[in-house]
Structure formats: structure tokens, C-alpha cells
Structure 1
Amino acid sequence: MTQKSPAPVTALQSQNNAAETERDPYLAALGERLRMLRARRGLTRKALARLADVSERHVANVESGVGNASIQFLRQLTAVLNCSLAEMIGDETASSPEWLMIREILRGRSEAELASGRAALAGVFDAPTSEAARRQRLAMIGLRGAGKSTLGRMLAEQWKVPFVELSRHIETIAGCSIAEIYALYGPNAYRRYEYRALEDVIQRFPRAVIATPGGIVSDPATFNLLLSHCYTVWLQASPEEHMARVVAQGDMRPITGNREAMEDLKQIISSRTQFYEKADRSVDTSAVAEPVAFARLLACLHAMA
């Protein structure tokens, strides 16, 4: 019996096969979530495209994991699907019914209400830390040049407690400098070392004054750990004061392209201010000598006694 020759592979089939093998895992997962959300709403692909005023072919490509969707395209879809952009792109806080209901409870709440809710959740899920124990560790937050190390050492000496420079502790745990951590392993590895270092300090020092890196507020897990276990003070200073103190410490990099460096510094301060404001207290160290700044710190902490 004569065997039939296999049908020739068309150019379109070849393209589809190649696309299937080259699908990006993230785009493939995005497509699966889009199909799931569309099914949840009971919409056909054609109906979704019509209601969102987008190309049905583009919807099909995204669902197949081969379409690189724009933010605007996804926003048009989420408006029809009655879901958040976070749910569409796979944010963990939108990954289950319980997460979605928690998000809904928190939606529209004030900062004070959210802080109260966070504290309540910490009491449920974290090892309880008494307020008295928390006040035994004082952590200073703020940008480099605010006076954390200088005033921290002075305070630790007066209180007769250990002074801990968290940056040095990170380097001890990592076995290399912070610059080397970033160069060799990247920022995510640095954040992991930072969290481990803070955990270790909390376990080892029931009483201490801690100077933290300026960017500690950038990682929610680490910053939450700090707020839960330490009494925090935000040392503030003007951008010009920060710049001058960093240069006085011997770092001449800000002088190169001074205008751009100052704009970057102002942007960093602006982006972190809402996080720094979570501190229990704040002290402005701008344009004053060390003894005056230290006196302000002591006056601020007098209420702790």
C-alpha cells in the first residue's frame, strides 16, 4: 500500500509552532489570566474586544502568550472585566478570592486606618512584641548625611547601650562590601542581606541604638520588621545639608554634575518622605551644630521615658 506523504507545513503553521516554543513565560501566564478573567465574566473573545474597543486579534494574541500588550490596552480590558490592573498582571495580592476581599476592605481607607489595620494583622501573624520591648531598641532612619551615625553613637554612649551600624552588619553577613554585593549579586540580593542583618540585630540586641541605611524604607518587609521591633526616629535635613555632609565625609561624587545630583537627591527625598513619616518621632538636624542636633534628639526622646 502506498503511504501518503505528510501534508506540507504551511508558513502560518510554521510561525505558530515557532511562537509556541518561544513564548515568554510571563506573557503566557498573562494570557492564561486574561482567559480566566474573561471566562469569569462570561464573555466571548469577540464580545470583550467589542466592549473594550480593541482588536479581537490582539486579544487573541495576548491570550495565546505571543502578544506584548501595552498598559493602555490592559486598562481597557480591566475596565470591561471589572478587575484591577494588579489582578490582570498577576500581583500576589490579587491572586485569590481572600486576597481580593481583603483589598476591598482596605480600599479607600485613610493612612491612619491602614496603619491600625497593619498593626492588628502584625499582632495576629507575627511574634508579639511588647511596646516596652520595642522602645528598648532605637533605630534612626533617614538619608545619608542626616547624622544617624554621629548622633547614634553619642546617644548609645549616653544610654550605655550597644551602637549598631546596620550597613556594617550587612557586610559581615555577606562577607563582602555593600558595593560588591550590588556588583556581584544585584539589588535583590542586597535587600535579602539587609533583612537578614536586621533580623539578626533584633535577636542579638534587646537594647541598642541602630543606624539604618537610607534605603531601608524601600523594602516593605524589612521596613515593617523595623517598625514592629524598634522605636524609630527620622533624622531630617535639607537637600543642601545632605549634599554638604556627604562631601565633607570624603565622597566627592556629588560634586560632579552638581545640578543633576541635587535634582536626584530631591527626587529621592520626595519619593521616600511618606515612608520616613511612619517613624515614631522626627528631628530636623538642618543648619545646626552637632551639640544642638543632639540636644534636639534628646528633647524629642524625653517623652519615651
Structure 2
Amino acid sequence: MRSEDIPPTDLTEAPAQRPPFLVALGERVRNLRSRQGMTRRAVAVAAGVSERHLANLEYGSGNVSVLVLLQVANALRCSLAELLGDLTTTSPEWLLIRELLGQRSEADLRRARVQLVELFGEGGNAQEQQNRIALIGLRGAGKTALGQRLADDLGFPFIELSREIEQFVGCQISEIHNLYGANAYRRYERRALEEAIQINPEFVIATPGGLVSDSANFNVLLSHCTTVWLQADPNDHMARVAAQGDLRPMAASREAMEDLKRILEGRAPFYSKADMAIQTSGRTEDQAFEALRDAVRQHLHRPA
């Protein structure tokens, strides 16, 4: 039995009878795990807990002691995050900002983020941002093939960020994860991305599918590049990746398609923050390239 199939310890409680807070907590854990592209077993090992315990947590049957904390937070008229403490609870200004943003729509929050980037000078030169085209999406979306063609068409350098990370560290991506861990990989990813931005006023860059899982790295990308989400149906993602002889991170899973769908579902809300989206499914490579080229050229105000 694979780790994703391990049932919770207690199956007697119907979903409607489980505490809503624990159900929502379990859903957030599943979403975060999917966004990172990690199996339940991998998370359990990294966290030092049993897979059964993690399954209970995801199912909404986690340790009820967390409900005591929730009750205390309610009694104190504060959020659970404020009770536990995080960066946004360290000063009155943080709390006031949280209050202002708490009930805003996604569109409002996006506008606030863009204005904050401008306020603090975190973004790049407007013209350079326009001329840096970053392709995001899962493996198999066509980032490398279409990115190279787009770069040739525009006369821009083409950068594959995964290869830049490997050159920066001196070993393959899989070895970076195995030797140094996910946190170190994200640091190397950040350095390679910042170096590419610093050196190149214009480029087409193909990014790793999991870059959006790190908010700091994704912020850098959004602030300095025009982003394009290359979309594809799960079946096409899987077929293209298999054709490349690469099933990471699903190689050890007997249910690779389910894993891929979970990852895509977890990351889609972040991919959707891109400036534009191009659907590659149902199109030949030439057709997908034409759609991408036309959209980017329109953005750059270049004739097609």
C-alpha cells in the first residue's frame, strides 16, 4: 500500500461530524503538500511523524488539542496565527496592515502587492521587466521547446533556470535535493534567478515547475519579468514528461497521474498570477508557438 492510500485511524466519524477547523486544516496541509510536489511519505519523513498521524491530520481527525488553542484564541478575540505568533504579529503596524488586507478580494490584494513592489523599489526597470519573458508551468507544458523558439524569434537570450542552478552548484538538481535538501535548493534557485536578472536586460527564461511554491522566489519573478503560464491538460503533461524519459517526482508512485493532478491543483492558483496564459493542449507545437509568439509580441508592441 502506498502512503497516499493509508487510511486515517478513525473512519467512524462522518465528514460532517468532524470539527470544521480540523477539516479545513487538513485541506490546507494537503494543498501545501501538493504545491510542493511531495508525497505523504516524504512529508512524514521530513517532519519526523508517522504517515498514519499525517493521514489523520489531512483527513480532519488531527490531534484535538489544536482545538483548545482555537478556543483560547476565540476567547482572546484574536486569530490562531496571532496566538501562535508569526512575522505578522511582531508589531502593531503588521497587525494593522493585516486588518486592512484581511477581507480584500484577490484583485485588491494583487493591486496592493504591485503597489508595495513599486513603493519599496523591489521591481525592475519597467522596460526591462517587459522584455524579460518568464515561462511558468508544470513539466511537460513546453517551456523549454517553446521558450527556445520564442527567444530565437525575439532575438533574446534563452535561459533554462534549472541548468543555471546546476552550473551554479556544480551538480544535478536531484543531487542538490539529496545532498543539501529542499531549503538549500530554493536558496540556489533564488541566487541563479537574481543573477540572470542582474546580467540580462532581456531574455526568455524557462523556470522550474515548483518555483511558484516559494513565495520569495515567485515574488522576484513577478516583480522583474513578464510571466506566461503555459497550460496543458494532465494527460498531456504526463505524456510529454514520459516521452522525455523523466517521471520526477512521480517515479516511485504507482498512481502517477493522481499525483500530477494534485500537484497541478495545488499550484494552479499561483500559476494563474501570470500576466498571460497560453493553452498548449489540443495544439501542435507550431500552433502553440504561434499563440505564444503572437501574445508576447502584442505585449511588446511588436508586429507579428
TM range (shorter): 0.7 to 0.9
Task: Indicate whether 1:133 and 2:128 are aligned.
Answer: yes
Identity of aligned residues (%): 54
Quick check: 1:133–1:206 contact (8 Å CA) kept in 2? yes
Q: Given the superposition, is the C-alpha separation of residues 138 and 102 from structure 1 closer, same or farther in structure 2, using an over 3 Å criterion?
A: same
Q: How many residues are paired up?
A: 237
Offset from partner CA, 1:23-77 (integer Å, 9 cap, x none): xxxxxxxxxxxxxxxxxxxxxxxxxxxxxxxxxxxxxxxxxxxxx9832111011
Structure 2 residue identity aligned to 1:147: G
- Matched residues in 2 for 1:227 and 1:75: separation? 35
Quick check: 1:87–1:95 contact (8 Å CA) kept in 2? no
Task: Indicate whether 1:289 and 2:284 are aligned.
Answer: yes
- Matched residues in 1 for 2:68 and 2:280: separation? 48
After the TM superposition, which of the residue ranges 272-281 and 81-90 deviates more from structure 2? 81-90
1:252 Cα offset (Å) = 5.3
Query: Aligned residue for 2:176?
Result: 181
Query: Aligned residue for 2:152?
Result: 157
Quick check: 2:131–2:201 contact (8 Å CA) kept in 1? yes
- The alignment partner of 2:108 has SS state of helix
Structure 2 residue identity aligned to 1:200: E
Quick check: 1:234–1:282 contact (8 Å CA) kept in 2? yes
Task: Indicate whether 1:250 and 2:228 are aligned.
Answer: no
Query: Aligned residue for 2:108?
Result: 113
Quick check: 1:136–1:207 contact (8 Å CA) kept in 2? yes
Per the normalisation by structure 1, the TM-score is 0.74
- Matched residues in 1 for 2:285 and 2:123: separation? 37
**Higher Rg of the two aligned structures:** 1
Query: Aligned residue for 1:274?
Result: 269
Per the normalisation by structure 2, the TM-score is 0.75
Offset from partner CA, 1:161-219 (integer Å, 9 cap, x none): 11000001111112221111111111111111111111000001111000000011001
Higher relative contact order (CA 8 A, sep 6+): 2
Quick check: 2:135–2:228 contact (8 Å CA) kept in 1? yes
Task: Indicate whether 1:219 and 2:214 are aligned.
Answer: yes
- Matched residues in 2 for 1:295 and 1:284: separation? 11
Q: Given the superposition, is the C-alpha separation of residues 92 and 256 from structure 1 closer, same or farther in structure 2, using an over 3 Å criterion?
A: closer
1:289 Cα offset (Å) = 1.4
After the TM superposition, which of the residue ranges 162-171 and 82-91 deviates more from structure 2? 82-91
- The alignment partner of 2:230 has SS state of strand
Quick check: 1:148–1:235 contact (8 Å CA) kept in 2? yes
Query: Aligned residue for 1:93?
Result: 88
Unaligned runs of 5+ in 1: 1-67
- The alignment partner of 2:104 has SS state of coil
